[in-house]
Amino acid sequence: MDKISTIIEHAEQSCKARGRQLTSKRKLVLRALVHASKALSAYELVDYCKTHFDQSIQAMSVYRSLDFLEGEHLAHKLKVSNKYIACSHILCDHEHGIPQFLICSKCNKISEQTIDPVMITGLQSNARQEGFTVINPQLEINCVCDDCAR
């Protein structure tokens, strides 16, 4: 079994264990995100599925599938670019924590890290002192990867 099939199978079993179903459309969207290895918008996913898998899927179905995948922690929405990426921790059986994304501003390469809970507590505490409540502590940091820096 190839890596993508392993990821899809694991995601399907995880959903089933929580009483949720990874439908064929949700699998297609997740497969596209994993296969692409980069962040894609909903409309880019429509095109990607057609080009790479010869499968037609409506944008509304992609949006619904992305909402499901996000809710199941199988995909993440990058707020700055309004694009989605497959969670890099799908095959892990532990709690994933709060993601931090290092995003190359030149080639759009993305690395997903888990933020230390102490750092999140500090951010939330600082926000509270300023009169704010953190709604989503996910961090997206613009960087330049080593390949592009050369």
* Residue 63 and residue 44 in contact, taking contact as beta carbons nearer than 8 Å: no
Is the sign of the CA dihedral 27, 68, 42, 60 positive or negative? Answer: positive
In whole angstroms, what separates CA 27 from the centre of its chain?
14
CATH of domain 97-150: 3.30.1490.190
Q: Does domain 1-94 have CATH number 3.40.50.300?
A: no
Q: Please, what is the Cα angle at 141 between 15 and 11, to 5 degrees? A: 10
* Overall average pLDDT of the 141-148 stretch: 94
Q: What band does 1 get if pLDDT is binned at 50, 70 and 90?
A: confident
Q: What band does 90 get if pLDDT is binned at 50, 70 and 90?
A: confident
| CATH 1.10.10.10 boundaries in the chain | 1-94
Q: What per-residue confidence (pLDDT) applies to 98? A: 86
* Overall average pLDDT of the 124-132 stretch: 96
- Listed residue (78, 85, 115) closest to 99, CA to CA: 115
Higher-confidence residue of 92 and 62: namely 62
| CATH 3.30.1490.190 boundaries in the chain | 97-150
* Overall average pLDDT of the 2-11 stretch: 94
Least confident of 28-32, 96-100, 114-118: 96-100
Kindly tell me the burial class for residue 13, based on how many C-beta atoms sit within 10 Å of its own C-beta (0-12, 13-18, 19 or more).
exposed
Instruction: Write the single-letter amino acid at 128.
Output: R
pLDDT tens readout for residues 28-86: 999 999 999 889 999 999 999 999 999 999 999 999 999 999 999 999 999 988 999 99
pLDDT of 19 higher than 80: yes
- The model carries a pTM of 0.85
